Structure 1
């Protein structure tokens, strides 16, 4: 089969499009024909080794720097190079291991990429496409417990925008207990996760203020944002102090301190990323004098993915496919992704033969 194999930390030359064996099933697994695979910051960060404690800049800054091997640069511990990335998968079940329900064969499914290997009583996770081979290929094998049948008229590409971006977003609004009583501030609201947060917070009835580039403001309003602030504006001057109940922030970097200023007493700050930079200045007085809660989100809680499948079935979400690329065009997709000129998600489509 054709696949993109990531052979180490570094630039686009580390993405090798080549022939590899179709994976052999183990106990409890299913084989999926990959119909479409989303593109995320996660894959770029893993290739760059951005998760290493030696990295102090944002994703774009790290991508433009000289390539460096980083032993601690992976999502969990070490990254299993060479391996196949691809966290988002819309696929069709082609085969099942003995003992797995054969009725799954032929079903279109989404894969829950964040897997709680020791059950939901443990926070330990493994991630498809970060800890083991993922969906940047024609075929992928996954545990049968992690595939969810989807009954929807959405296209394969539309479904492929959901798992990582919307799973991450739903996990954050779930953990922050967003409700109709809340005013939610969303940074990076034009990206895959940010645009998903806007929709999911609005689905819960919240008032949403979104921060986006000036050229994308109308598009973000169109997906539900009540108020839009141009990126680079003074957030405190725009909103005032003590203005919002929840901040969903995957940008971090230099704007972090302002986020705490605009939060109300007992507000909740929730994050699952830091594309603007992982190191921030924290004024502890804002944190403790306002009784704030800082909530980190990586491991998806048990209701998150079933919730998303239900939202899709009931058409309560609007998938945003910014652009599709052939699988062999992954370097072009990631390069364009880092330019941040798009709204929503990029999707890779593998060849259907072979």
Structure 2
């Protein structure tokens, strides 16, 4: 096996603390991880950038933080809270982040068939843990090292073989965003002819949700900024509403079967109002702010169902693999960067001037 240069070292980006962009340190002198008996070693070819990377880095998941993510990036941060990760448990530093991984298996543990060597794989980003009570999980690149590196390890069961002519960057845009969107849609039981409203529709999860909801023949109403509306509509959205517009004035009350919310923030108050009686509100993000005003009478008088989505059953990621291989979904890669330019990639990510995904590539 030829794993690295003659030095036997690898390059990677270390998250050294909760903090600003300077908390990311690119290194070229790190040891290549050794897979345990049930793991595989992957040569990472591409890794997507996600909100969870930034949220974890700045400590946004801490209950002491109430601001939108983009309001914290340029502030002096002194997050030391034990609840600053998504799981509520302290992150062990240094940590190699990166939930999205496309790569090639280059070594296997002693319990894994060596026929897996050479497989092109995508790593399942939300993984089960031992003694799972139904919702216990970990995020690849959060509770364990992830894909912002030349090499990474994961359980063999979490590395899924992928047969596709897509580029590494295109494939790396799928795991986190599309599995999050598919999980939301599945939990909401979206079906044919239902009306689904998607907030943050130009982002990675939002653009994925448009395609996946249309795959189930739902009617999609998408919310995004004016500059991104043409592309969002090209993904299949039946109606596009400008970011910040009044949903009640535009749509009226009681007109939507399901809301897929990735934003929260100030517009949250309108979302229960536009839901039909018996409708479903599903959330997997709060980039516009985690604390909202809510009249709980709307919840019980309209018999609404509120669903939070983090844990993903295994079939969700297996669905994404099937959709890719059957050409039912397409990647939306806005820009790629070499891994050593991760700081610039995250700055561009926070500027939100793109549609779809930003991806880091390893040459």
Q: TM-score range by the shorter chain?
A: over 0.9
Which residue of 112, 116, 126 maps to 2:138?
126
CA contact (8 A) 2:177 2:205 kept: yes
Q: Displacement, 1:96?
A: 0.3
- CA separation in 1, counterparts of 2:96 and 2:234? 35
Q: 1:39-70: CA deviations, max 9, x gaps?
A: 00000000000000000011101213221123
> Larger deviation: 121-130 or 314-323?
121-130
- Could you say which residue in structure 1 is the equivalent of 2:182? 170
TM-score (norm 2): 0.95
- Residue of structure 1 in register with 2:6 after alignment: none
Alignment correspondent of 1:339 = 351
Q: Structure 1 stretch 65-74 or stretch 318-327: which is displaced more? A: 65-74
Q: Which range moves more in the overlay, 222-231 or 58-67?
A: 58-67
Distance across 2 between alignment mates of 1:168 and 1:50: 19
Structure 1 residues 70-89: aligned runs within 5 Å: 70-71=80-81, 72-76=83-87, 77-89=89-101
CA distance in 2, matches of 1:222, 1:152: 23
CA deviation vs aligned residue, 1:275-311 (integer Å, no higher than 9, x gap) = 0000011111111100000000000123100100000
Aligned mate of 2:216, from 197, 200, 204: 204
Distance of 2:342 and 2:199 partners within structure 1: 26
Q: Equivalent residues in 2 for 1:13-28 (5 A)?
A: 13-18=22-27, 19-28=29-38
State the distance in 2 between where 1:198 and 1:65 align. Answer: 33
Q: Which of 291, 314, 319 is the equivalent residue of 1:307?
A: 319
1:121 Cα offset (Å): 5.1
| Separation (CA, whole Å) in 1 of partners of 2:84 and 2:279 | 32
Q: Write out per-residue CA displacement over residues 81-112 of structure 1, whole angstroms, 9 at most, x where no aligned residue.
A: 11100000001000000120211110100000
- Aligned-partner Cα distance in 2 for 1:106–1:124: 31
1:33 is matched with 43
* Maintained 8 Å contact 2:284/2:310: yes
- Structure 2: how far apart are the matches of 1:15 and 1:272? 25
Distance 2:48 2:128 in 1: 21
Task: Return the alpha-carbon distance in structure 2 between the equivalents of residues 339 and 31 of structure 1.
Answer: 34
Q: TM-score, normalised by structure 1?
A: 0.98
CA shift, 1:122, in A, is 2.2
Give the count of matched residue pairs. 351
Alpha-carbon offset, residue 181 of structure 1: 2.8
Counterpart for residue 237 of structure 2: 225
Deviations 1:103-130, CA, capped at 9 Å, x for gaps: 1110100000111113765211111101
1:67 aligns with 2:77: yes
1:197 aligns to what SS in structure 2? helix
Counterpart CA distance in 2 for 1:301 and 1:295 is: 15
RMSD, aligned α-carbons: 0.9
Distance in 2, Cα, partners of 1:273 & 1:125: 17
How do residues 1-354 of structure 1 correspond to structure 2 at under 5 angstroms? 1-18=10-27, 19-71=29-81, 72-76=83-87, 77-118=89-130, 122-350=134-362, 352=363
Cα distance between partner residues in 2 of 1:267 and 1:168: 20
Q: Is the 8 A contact 1:120 1:301 kept in 2?
A: no
The 2-side partners of 1:124 and 1:226 are apart by 36
Per-residue CA distance 1:125-173 (angstroms, 9 max, x = gap): 1111011110000000000010110001111000000010001111000
Name stretches of at least 5 consecutive residues in structure 1 with no aligned partner: none
Q: Is the 8 A contact 2:280 2:306 kept in 1?
A: yes
